[in-house]
Amino acid sequence: VDSLAYWNDPQGERDQQFQPPFKGSDGDAEKYITFTVDTGGWNNIRMSMEIIFVIAAATGRTLVLPPKAPLYRLRGDLKNIHRGFADFFPLDTEEFQKKVKIISTEEFVEKEGGANGVAPIPEDMREGVMKSVKVCNKMKKMDNACENIAQYLSQVGHVPDARAKDYCFVFDEDVFNGDEVSDESEESISTFCGTRKRAFWNPDMNQQAVVHFRAGEKEWRLLAHFYGFIHFTNPAIGNYYKRFVRDYLRYNDQIYCSAGKIVKALQAEAAERGFDPDEEGAGGFSALHVRRGELQYKKVKIPAEEWYENTKEIWKPKEILFIATDERNKTFFDPLAAHFDIRFLDDYFELAGLGDLDPNYFGMIDTIISSRGRAFAGTWFSTFTGYINRMRGYHGMTMMDTWYSFLPNKEKSHHWENIDHFAFAFEWPDGWIGIDGDVTPSKDVF
């Protein structure tokens, strides 16, 4: 795990002592953030989760985790299909709990769902809520449908008008204190938000006992990268929360340990061919992410022959290529195998002890392995590819060694543009470059 860590553990003293600037008075009663889970694939769920966690951390509110439920495309364990965020992220550590207090929906209902609580359950909803509070199902006809919880929270909570496709979400200290936006802040907001509508965390929002995000509904999705949706007008505060995501919202050690075994095995085999890791422990091999499956953007689902033609100059002769993929028919890759030595996660099943792991971890392990390749080529429009690029960025790897197989955007990552609009199909350096400083970095060199 240590050889793969990009996060700070422990954080520096300044970050440890940081206090959320938008939480109001210390004497205020406990307030809450609640949300529903995005209905897309895992990385869409993760993106939405990051937004919610940053808002909870910045406002000092208690975060109410949804009941465990089946997650789309994460059903590798048919004997136990229900999962929660704590199954993938180390949320129970003492240091994390200092940053964000977390409780379950069951605990929230027990504490606040009564007549004297801040979120009393309407009598006509009580039976459904109580049946769904621990574990819920996506099918609305089920007695323990997740919809029971969603309807309850939408009714008792304040729902901000902040849909990711139309809005940016702004934290400004002047607005929070009831003042006007300064000229300097207005300039930074305009640069960040572009033509998007603005939702501010303002005094009215702060007074609400429960703020609820309907992220599980199509029109209310938070399908965006946290650093492209949330804007702190003070860059020192914004960079702190980018570090918060980097340092705390990472996969658990069990996932990283298995990935580390495979990275070491790839690098050991590569060393026999004369390919050594760099001084940061990366490389020796290169990686691809070939998304097939249910990706809705058909034009980027290209045959293996095109993968070869579109990326062949990236790879070195005799270099091992690790392929992260959801394609189960490995003969699909024969056109690549004809030119390169290719490896898959399956090749390391016993070495990495994958049989002892939650099978829902496998895609996450693929992500970590791919992030340590010398060079990387991914699938345009895939948030899985995007997260690999962010991990590479956290490690300090240049984006000049990242490409896409889709020719119109093959070198998209080689240009750092100002993204002032709704974007989710790729990640960009705003999320990782310069985040250990207190200023907005220049985009000239990256």
Residue 387 CA to residue 155 CA, distance in Å, equals 34
Write down the pLDDT at residue 102. 97
Report long-range pairs for 147-153 (Cβ below 8 Å, ≥24 apart). 149/36, 149/66, 149/67, 149/105, 150/36, 150/214, 150/216, 150/217, 151/125, 152/119, 152/121, 152/122, 152/125, 152/128, 153/34, 153/36, 153/119, 153/210, 153/212
Residue 442 CA to residue 235 CA, distance in Å, equals 13
Point out the residues of the chain with pLDDT beneath 50: none
Write down the pLDDT at residue 73. 54
Write down the pLDDT at residue 294. 72
Write down the pLDDT at residue 367. 98
Phi, psi for residue 198 in degrees, rounded to 5: -115, 130
Write down the pLDDT at residue 75. 53
What's the distance, CA 40 to chain centroid? 13
Write down the pLDDT at residue 81. 65
Q: Which residues contact 7 (CB under 8 A, 6 or more apart)?
A: 246, 247, 248, 250, 394
Residue 30 CA to residue 88 CA, distance in Å, equals 27
Q: Which residues contact 278 (CB under 8 A, 6 or more apart)?
A: 374
Residue recorded with tokens 């949706």: 229
Strand pairing report for 82-83 and 69-70: antiparallel
Write down the pLDDT at residue 1. 86
Write down the pLDDT at residue 312. 98
Helices (H), 13-135: 13-17, 42-59, 94-99, 105-112, 126-132
Give the pLDDT confidence of 416-446 residue by residue, as tens digits: 999 999 999 999 999 999 999 999 998 887 6
Write down the pLDDT at residue 24. 78
> What separation, in Å, do the N-terminal and C-terminal C-alpha atoms of the chain show?
27
Residue 161 CA to residue 205 CA, distance in Å, equals 11
- From-to residues of CATH 3.40.50.11350 in the chain: 253-414
> What b-and-e string marks burial along 28-62, b requiring 16 or more CB atoms within 10 Å of the CB?
eeebbbbbbbbbbbbbbbbbbbbbbbbbbbbbbbb
Which class does domain 253-414 fall in?
alpha beta
Helices (H), 66-164: 94-99, 105-112, 126-132, 146-156
